[in-house]
Structure 1
């Protein structure tokens, strides 16, 4: 599960765990400090009462103890609150008025710490203890044994445990709320930091998408120092892949255009001359199969790889139409191009020029006066181009023949009859289709489908 989390989720989870543990440890430490501080304040209050009682304590010749003043000042003047004092001697016991007639049972006292070796012993402080008081209430005891005119007396002062727990609970409640608010603020700050820190990766992802879609050739070099080496390596890889793809494309183009035309010419010559047909026709067939095999592999590799090439259709059609209009100026052909300006195909520009150039040239050749080019979104990710002319058109059996290499329907017209065959192979190389039908004006309609690219 941890491996499937995003970088942002991992950073936030780790920060939340660390902050929670750190604040929990800090809260426990601060709680111990608060407890020690409040306990010390209570102990000092009780020790002050013990010192006050010792200063007023007197003993007669019979060993009876008495106080020379009133020791029931606040908070020892409130009955049932747990603030009591008691002085026990061999002859009598003195009690706070808050105790009424009850007696404090002092639990076993904690022994005082041993003084350092070699130090001068000081007067021992009152000893602490915890235990039940009158009515079963939990009390905190402080007791000290003093000598009054050779009479041994034990002075005890108590405070309720709630005197420590109540303020400690109130302080810890406020502390917990403050730590919770601090944790929320730290997590929010961490969230903002993660968002800002990972923003360059989001921009890098968009830049890679632009390269893949063909909107740019390289990743922007203006990156943070940590990402810059990765971007440099990716740009080097893109350049290497582009160079390899260009070399492969040139080799395939050279193979297609350098061998297909003479091979088809040879096959056509053999079909007309029967002298060496038995010897050469099988060789021509083998060569043709191997060429198609390698063209098929090149087509598969091109379709499986990243589609970076793209060509704006309207721009290239206008350029081709301008050239053909000048060449056929004497025939006064009216060319209409109804193509969205942003329409683009995932095709190399020179390949698209060869495809569209051949199709437009044929339309100009056979049209009586009008050629119309339109574009529309085809099925899937295809862009459909239709080229209509108002010529005589083709019969269904002529459409089947026109795509065969070397086949010409009009021997009086210039050309060798390989243009449409090469166009079809280029269209198939990019995963498109080429179909023929009758146009609404009565001439030929050419339906060309090529993979659609995102607008530039």
Structure 2
């Protein structure tokens, strides 16, 4: 007769199967999300370069020349996988230095269609992701066709690299979770092992009752058993009754133990804490972001909020200067004491804290914070630094949740996104530009306090 399967083994097998399923599902979801994200980034980059190509191109008398080279030098490297062409009725008016093969051919677009189209075509070095647009210089002449493309292999290279890293990470995470789940199940099952040994002692006659204390989930069972052992009348009937009580009492503790085992399995896994943190950052980033928004929406409903701009800036600068003390930064603050903003002090601290911290992080030697009252009832506050600044195309990107233009520096990519949302919720505006100090300048406009 086949022996019944061990409850411990059942739990370990179930936990392993569930973890494996979760890891495979996580791999599929994360891989597809990343592919979609990278593909969109590639297309966004093509759109930017297409706009740049159209802006720089000068077409006249069947020829096209660029007033300046494209900002991306890869279009100048032969067979780099980054190509552009300007055509008219199939004739090539101009092409990138990287292009040495036959002209690019895209599916035909309607005469009235002036939008940007994306295609996948065969290029000189493989399949190309292409963005193209038509432009009519003269209604009586054929349209000028601007084509720009990137080899799909560049996209696949990024995705494959991510998938390899993701596979190793999830495998390591899954194995560590299986090991942790097995250890937790073994630990959780120890009281039942002790109970089994004690029952053996009682049955052998060496003990009259079950000794020791047990977890709260098992202790009622132990107490019932001891009561049964202490009974001296109607032993058989009581034994049958107690057997039924035992069977009934086991259901709840075993169900709790099973649930506890799953909860403990999903708990802290010390040996893979860093891997878990990596996989969880996007989520942490979104949680921090949404909780901040929820708090601000609640505080925004309170009327009559106001904060002194000078006082808030003084507190923030005092804290930030200590953080970046090693850089010996000079903070130049020019804010009239009378300026008050129609904003909760805590929210204004959050806005300026993110902006001044960002300036201090990238500044070389100076950070300037200035504020002026405008005639339209707004207060303009600018935070500028003398750091490397940002290219124009990055000015909107860095406001996206979780986006960081400089991936080498520490940060979650939430600061500017939170600052923008806070400013918007208070009816203000925020934008980035080039500072007179040579770095980045963040300018916010908020309503003045009445």
TM-score band, normalised by shorter chain: 0.3 to 0.5
What's the TM-score, normalizing by structure 2? 0.47
Q: Which has the larger radius of gyration?
A: 1
What's the TM-score, normalizing by structure 1? 0.46
